[in-house]
Amino acid sequence: MLNAKLASLSSPDQQTIVNLSPQVAIGGQQIIVIAGPCTVESQAQMELVATKLQAAPVQAIRGGVYKPRTSPYAFQGMGNEGLEILDRVRSTYETPVVTEVMAISQIEAIAAHADMLQVGSRNMQNFDLLKELGQVNKPILLKRGLAATLEEFVMAAEYILSHGNSQVVLCERGIRSFDSYTRNVLDLGGVVVLKQLTHLPVIVDPSHATGKRELVAPLAKAAIACGADGLIIECHPIPEESVSDARQALSLEAMVQLVHELQPVATAVGRTMAKVSKQPELVAA
Ligand code: PEP
Ligand code: MN
């Protein structure tokens, strides 16, 4: 297939490990989970999320502060104020945080506060953004475009790699199809292909793939069973009240339970769930 000089797997044991922190590595034997709300809404919301999820444990917290919304009239995210909330959560709970970058002008501020910069589906082929992210000294979570082929996806990663940043994680989050029952179609075959074609870690987002909370856990398990290196999942203290993507948000309790249910699936495919949970005194409280 591809003319992906840097992203292609060149030997069977080649595997990139992307470090979110000294404790959190993506692409190794351990499965990692990134979880949190679609959108950062308040300090209190993010503290609840971080406190509960450390017990799961999850290895990183997500939350959008610049949101790509279909309607220009919908809430666009808290912007800089949201970044400051993420930063406080990051230092108080000693957890890596992941958030989306939509524009070149946002890179500097986000890179200063977050441990991983997410490129959303709608920007997968924003080549100028990708080139600029190639010069950032932070890991990039590259989500597959809404209707991107696997080749286009890998070549988008190649843009980042070829501009100097080797820390790229691919994320399958479902692709558009004809059925509206699910929000998208989760391409698990694509996950297997990506694992065979590239040495980059591959994670799965069953939340945006399905759009319905009751479909998230089964597909999260399927993703681990077919070789994904991790998951990114949306959850919220009061899911129905999420300002965005409420229908797909898990409760924090369901999120914790899902992490536990993933363990036997990981074992079945020779992996383990990462156990890093900082500050056990907070977990016990
Ligand atoms: C998100 O993760 O918040 C998001 C908007 O996802 P995607 O780009 O996959 O739609
Ligand atoms: Mn969302």
Q: What pairing do the DSSP bridges indicate for beta strands 168-172 and 202-204?
A: parallel
Q: In the chain, count of helices (H) and strands (E)? A: 10, 12
Residues linked to residue 142 through DSSP beta bridges, in sequence order: 119, 170
Residues 223, 12, 141: CA angle, nearest 5 degrees: 45
Query: How remote is the CA of residue 233 from the centroid of ligand 1, in Å?
Result: 10
In whole angstroms, give the CA distance from residue 168 to residue 159. 10
Give the pLDDT score at 277.
Answer: 57
In whole angstroms, give the CA distance from residue 81 to residue 38. 16
Q: Choose among 281, 285, 271, 122: nearest CA to 203.
A: 271
Peptide bond into 57 cis (omega under 30): yes
Instruction: Say if ligand 1 is within 6 A of residue 68 CB.
Output: yes
In whole angstroms, give the CA distance from residue 167 to residue 124. 16
Instruction: Say if ligand 1 is within 6 A of residue 173 CB.
Output: yes
Q: Choose among 34, 23, 26, 24: nearest CA to 255.
A: 34
Pocket mutation for ligand 1, best pick of 38, 142, 234 (most atoms within 8 Å of C-beta): 38
Separation in Å, CA 100 to CA 57, 259, 260: 22, 23, 27
Class of the domain covering 19-68+76-268: alpha beta
Give the pLDDT score at 278.
Answer: 59
Residues linked to residue 34 through DSSP beta bridges, in sequence order: 60, 232
pLDDT tens-digit profile, the chain (285 residues)? 679 999 999 998 999 999 999 999 999 999 999 999 999 999 999 999 999 999 899 999 999 999 999 999 999 999 999 999 999 999 999 999 999 999 999 999 999 999 999 999 999 999 999 999 999 999 999 999 999 999 999 999 999 999 999 999 999 999 999 999 999 999 999 999 999 999 999 999 999 999 999 999 999 999 999 999 999 999 999 999 999 999 999 999 999 999 999 999 999 999 999 987 554 444 443
Residues, beta carbon < 5 Å, ion ligand 2: 38, 245
Give the pLDDT score at 142.
Answer: 99
Residues 259, 166, 206: CA angle, nearest 5 degrees: 30
Query: How remote is the CA of residue 284 from the centroid of ligand 1, in Å?
Result: 32
Query: How remote is the CA of residue 6 from the centroid of ligand 2, in Å?
Result: 30
Structure token pair of residue 102: 């939509």
Give the pLDDT score at 1.
Answer: 61
Q: Where are the domains of the chain?
A: 19-68+76-268
